[in-house]
């Protein structure tokens, strides 16, 4: 019998090549860096690992190639006890890759190649229908083909799960889709793509969140760059705390946030508590180079919350 999952993640799985240098290169420029890492990544795989490290029972639905990079992605997920039965293998297309560049302030830029992620179809998601039954939260993103994302939302809703959308990469979305989302968590650029509001400060972040609620989402967490995140839902609003830690690499911080939020929702925690926990997880994820390597365990998050 298939177990009931706290979190089912439907999303991308990659191998990340991370290089750190003094600054991000300008177009046409070559720079010498001082650190390199090759590791499993991709928003979906990161979020699955993030949720598992926080103690959730997690299944992932995604697609990798039949290559050695795909093997490495599978091993990384299995080592965190993520159910990978529905991480399908594509014998014709290589595993997706991401080239991540990080500067000495921890800022990042990423160029990815979709590879097998582009062949995650709605049928692949339907094949995984068993893991959606009884699932508490379905966490998905826009980085996979749209039909696969829609099917994940449909199956999640029909099984009674709450739907968390990490709307990366930023794209405009129609209201019918937004109305099916329980919590959406855009960063600054994604919020701008979704709403058209140019986020410059707390007020404009709030305006973007208000627009998302008017268009049907039940709750929105919108980043106001370095000014924190506003969490808005139908009955309230809070600004989530910022945890002042020295950043090494922002890669994976958004994934830490989304997965922590999903875990708390699966546990039935109220939104403000879930948001605070997710903020702490994201802050910790900025203190380590790389994405999956930086995702914190529950004890570290609780310790940061207790000491801040
Ligand atoms: O969110 C971080 C992830 O984005 C990286 O692991 C990389 O694979 C890109 O998809």
Task: Delineate the domains of the chain, giving CATH numbers in brackets.
Answer: 7-13+41-93+115-307 (3.40.1190.20)
Q: Which atom of ligand 1 is nearest to the CA of 251?
A: 2
Backbone angles phi and psi of 149, in degrees to 5: -65, -45
Cis peptide before 169, with omega less than 30 degrees from 0?
Answer: yes
Please state, in angstroms and rounded to a whole number, the distance separating the CA atoms of residues 152 and 13: 16
The pLDDT, as a whole number, for residue 7 is: 98
pLDDT of residue 193: 96
Q: Which residues are catalytic?
A: 255
CA–centroid distance, 234 to ligand 1, in Å, is 31
Residue nearest to atom 10 of ligand 1 (CA): 42
Determine which residue's CA is closest to atom 5 belonging to ligand 1: 42
Residue 1, pLDDT score:
67
Is beta strand 108-113 parallel, antiparallel or unpaired with respect to 96-102?
Answer: antiparallel
- Closest protein CA for atom 7 of ligand 1: 42
Taking the C-alpha atoms of residue 109 and residue 37, their distance in angstroms, rounded to an integer, is 15
User: Which ligand 1 atom is nearest residue 46's CA?
Assistant: 6
How far is the centre of ligand 1, averaged over its atoms, from the C-alpha of 41 (Å)? 6
What is the CB < 6 Å shell around ligand 1? 12, 14, 16, 41-43, 46, 98, 110, 112, 251-252, 254-255, 291
3-state secondary structure string, the chain?
Answer: CCCCCCEEEECCCEEEEEEECCCCCCCCCCCCCCEEEEEEECHHHHHHHHHHHCCCCEEEEEEEECCHHHHHHHHHHHCCCCEEEEEEEECCCCCEEEEEEECCCCCEEEEEECHHHHHCCHHHHHHCHHHHCCCCEEEEECCCCHHHHHHHHHHHHHCCCEEEEECCCCCCCCHHHHCCCCEECCCHHHHHHHHCCCCCCHHHHHHHHHHHHHCCCCEEEEECHHHCEEEEECCEEEEECCCCCCCCCCCCHHHHHHHHHHHHHHCCCCHHHHHHHHHHHHHHHCCCCCCHHHCCCHHHHHHHHHHC
Q: For CA atoms 235, 232, 196, 45, give the dihedral sign.
A: negative
- Distance between Cα 181 and ligand 1 center (Å): 22
Per-residue pLDDT of the chain (308 residues; tens, 9 = 90+): 677 999 999 999 999 999 999 999 999 999 999 999 999 999 999 999 999 999 999 999 999 999 999 999 999 999 999 999 999 999 999 999 999 999 999 899 999 999 999 999 999 999 999 999 999 999 999 999 999 999 999 999 999 999 999 999 999 999 999 999 999 999 999 999 999 999 999 999 999 999 999 999 999 999 987 888 999 999 999 999 889 899 999 999 999 999 999 999 999 999 999 999 999 999 999 999 999 999 999 999 999 999 98
Contacts of 242 (CB under 8 A, 6+ apart): 228, 279, 283
Confidence (pLDDT) at 30: 93
Whole-model pTM: value is: 0.96
Question: How many angstroms is it from 47 CA to the middle of ligand 1?
Answer: 10
Looking at the CA of residue 42, tell me the nearest atom of ligand 1.
8
- Separation of alpha carbons 24 and 85, rounded Å: 38
Cα separation, 286 vs 245, in Å, equals 8
User: Ligand 1: distance of its center to the CA of 251 in Å?
Assistant: 7
């Amino acid at each position: 019998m298939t177990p009931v999952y706290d979190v089912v993640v439907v999303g991308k799985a990659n191998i990340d090549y991370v290089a750190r240098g003094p600054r991000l290169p300008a177009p046409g420029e070559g720079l010498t860096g001082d650190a390199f890492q090759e590791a499993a990544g991709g928003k979906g795989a990161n979020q699955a690992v993030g949720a598992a490290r926080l103690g959730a029972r997690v299944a992932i639905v995604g697609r990798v190639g039949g290559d050695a990079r795909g093997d490495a992605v599978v091993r990384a997920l299995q080592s965190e006890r993520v159910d990978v039965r529905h991480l399908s293998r594509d014998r014709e297309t290589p595993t997706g890759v991401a080239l991540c560049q990080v500067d000495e302030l921890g800022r990042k830029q990423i160029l990815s190649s979709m590879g097998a992620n582009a062949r995650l179809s709605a049928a692949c998601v339907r094949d995984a229908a068993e893991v959606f039954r009884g699932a508490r939260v379905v966490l998905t993103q826009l980085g996979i083909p749209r039909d696969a994302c829609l099917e994940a939302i449909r199956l999640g809703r029909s099984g009674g799960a709450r739907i968390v959308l990490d709307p990366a990469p930023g794209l405009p979305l129609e209201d019918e889709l937004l109305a099916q989302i329980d919590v959406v968590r855009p960063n600054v650029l994604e919020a701008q793509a979704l709403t058209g509001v140019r986020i410059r400060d707390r007020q404009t972040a709030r305006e973007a969140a208000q627009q998302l609620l008017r268009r049907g989402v039940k709750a929105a967490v919108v980043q106001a760059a370095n000014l924190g995140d506003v969490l808005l839902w139908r009955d309230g609003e809070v600004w989530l705390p910022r945890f002042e830690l020295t950043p090494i690499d922002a890669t994976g911080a958004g994934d830490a946030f989304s997965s922590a939020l999903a875990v708390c929702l699966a546990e039935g925690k109220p939104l403000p508590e879930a948001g605070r926990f997710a903020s702490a997880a994201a802050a910790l994820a900025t203190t380590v180079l790389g994405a999956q390597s930086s995702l914190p365990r529950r004890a570290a998050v609780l310790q940061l919350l207790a000491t801040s």
